[in-house]
A and B are shown apart, each in its own frame.
Chain A
Amino acid sequence: EAGVAQSPRYKIIEKRQSVAFWCNPISGHATLYWYQQILGQGPKLLIQFQNNGVVDDSQLPKDRFSAERLKGVDSTLKIQPAKLEDSAVYLCASSLAGTSIRQYFGPGTRLTVT
């Protein structure tokens, strides 16, 4: 079974630049999550999709972050413009549905903002 795919794996940008991350969940998984994990901390949920609808984006800094999941499959997360404090690993996860089902995580994208 193929896992959750993310790209790129690493990205270095200067502050005020824009960046986009891509996630391809496990086939058939209706729920997709984007997390931000700052070094030494646990992941923080940014946004959760159920199919192509947003379930929770309460912790997404909407002035600079945006995400979409067109057609309920792949998803992109964009930061525009980036700040130094956005340096983190961005994890994508997917699950069949609901909170009682196991989440499968991708390898993450490590973003460094200089």
Chain B
Amino acid sequence: KNQVEQSPQSLIILEGKNCTLQCNYTVSPFSNLRWYKQDTGRGPVSLTIMTFSENTKSNGRYTATLDADTKQSSLHITASQLSDSASYICVVSARPGTYKYIFGTGTRLKVLA
């Protein structure tokens, strides 16, 4: 069964600190993995997209890693800011042609001043 699991479910950190969010998946055949940021009351916004051959992708203070062998991804946030408070959702797509997106349940991050 295609699944995407994220951990932790929620996280509280102090402003300026770093944190790492985890995503494990069992989706096969794999096409790509995306990390989305979803602010409260808003739709998800794409942070990074990685294909099978990519193992690191950065977007400002956000760095995503992908290990296709172990089917794990992480999202590292550096020097967190209050505006990073949001839910972070990992989404895995099956190979093109099947039109399947499998969403994780997200990690809710709260950054405190």
Query: Which positions in A face B, CB cutoff 8 Å?
Result: 4, 40-45, 48, 50, 55-56, 91, 93, 98-100, 102-108, 110
Contact = CB atoms under 8 A, between A and B. Distances in A.
B43 A99 contact: no
Nearest to A99: B93
For the complex of A and B, list the 10 residue pairs with the smallest distance between their C-beta atoms, beginning with the closest: A105-B43, A42-B103, A99-B93, A42-B105, A105-B44, A99-B96, A43-B103, A98-B96, A106-B43, A100-B96
Chain A interface helix/strand/loop/mixed: loop
Contact of A98 (B41, B51, B99): B99
A49 B101 CA distance: 14
A107 B40 CA distance: 10
Contact of B31 (A41, A91, A100, A110): A100
B89 A99 contact: no
B42 A107 contact: yes
Given A108-B42, A108-B43, A99 B99 contact: yes
